[in-house]
Structure 1
Amino acid sequence: MLSSPTVRRLAVAATVALGAALVPAVTAGAAAQDPIQDPLPITPNTSFIGLVNGKAADAVITVVCPGPVSSTSVGHPVSGQTAEVRSIVPPVTAPGGFTGSAGREIVAGFSPASTAAQNIVFTSYFAPAKIPTTWWVPCGGTATMTFVPLPTSPTARSYTLTVAFANIAY
């Protein structure tokens, strides 16, 4: 029979071995997801992109449009959807926005803007903002969401993202 100190040593060794086996599995699972980034203040002379629901391409906003729907019908976005701006580091392979020499915030909205109430103001990168459910948006088709750096300057450049609308009421 094994003595008490020997049993304790075996138990410790087994615990250490199990922990060592789990570390790669946990690390692999975390690497499969997007890394979490702390918000960063928007500053001048920074390249950026805009996202809707985490996508910088093929973005979709889900809309509720009950009743008969025509090509001019509008409805409200479903809750829980987001828009975001992310800084990008040159060299930039796709055209992005640029805050220019003065930009300290980015305003996002649909073009042409219907009202200032339908804008989202960002002061930080990597800080998703909820798309308001009070917005009126098309029940189908696409529109352009524009991310505009403010205050503007001669070197500032907006970023545009084509967004599709999907009506869940049908």
Structure 2
Amino acid sequence: MRPTARSLAFAAALALGVAAAPAASAGPVQDPIPIGPNTYFYGLVNGQAADAVIQVACPGPVGPSSTGHPLYGQTAEVRSVVPPVSTLYGYTGSAAKQIDAGLTLPTSVTADPPIVFGSFFAPAKIPTTWVVPCGGSTTMTFVPLSTSSTARSYTLKVSFVNIAT
């Protein structure tokens, strides 16, 4: 290879390496970790651990007792936490191998079945079959199962926002 061609090849390779560098420096992605005993955790809704919102489709006139369904593509997730931690977090206790998440709702609406997690860092879809209020707020509780005397649930405040208004 002639010196000029070699220099051009080196410059092209260097330019490609520099162009690829930003992609290589993207934020880390956490692989799922199986849920197991003696692990602290917290829950998220749509990526939020505070001020979480579930968007709801409520067609037509909406009143205080109106209900609708969560929009498709929304998620809930559980993430593990490395000690030392505060008592604000949930704890799987000595026996848990899964965590179930559900909403605390009035009896006129249903959020069944619960969302079942077998791994941390593995978002799951919020079911569009749930019937939820068109507005207001409640809590989503993340419950370790199988339970034990040391297990502790985690509760997250969730607001409902009607996208049709």
Q: Give the TM-score normalised by the residue count of structure 1.
A: 0.88
Q: 1:88 aligns with which of 78, 81, 84?
A: 81
- Per the alignment, do residues 73 and 112 of structure 1 end up closer, same or farther by CA in structure 2, a change over 3 Å counting? closer
- Whichever of the two has the greater Rg, that structure is 1
Q: 2:124 aligns with which of 123, 126, 129?
A: 129
- Per the alignment, do residues 90 and 84 of structure 1 end up closer, same or farther by CA in structure 2, a change over 3 Å counting? same
Deviation at 1:144, TM superposition (A): 0.4
Q: Give the TM-score normalised by the residue count of structure 2.
A: 0.90
Cα distance in 2 for residues equivalent to 1:75 and 1:90: 39
Cα distance in 2 for residues equivalent to 1:113 and 1:148: 19
Q: Secondary structure at the match of 2:103?
A: strand
Cα distance in 2 for residues equivalent to 1:113 and 1:152: 25
Higher deviation after alignment, 130-139 or 89-98: 89-98
Cα distance in 2 for residues equivalent to 1:41 and 1:20: 36
Matched, 1:22 2:15: no
User: Once superposed, what is the RMSD of the aligned Cα atoms?
Assistant: 1.9
Q: 1:97 aligns with which of 90, 93, 112?
A: 90
Cα distance in 2 for residues equivalent to 1:92 and 1:11: 55
Structure 1 unaligned spans of 5+ = none
Structure 2 unaligned spans of 5+ = none
Deviation at 1:40, TM superposition (A): 1.0
Q: 1:138 aligns with which of 112, 133, 149?
A: 133
Matched, 1:148 2:148: no
Give the aligned length. 163
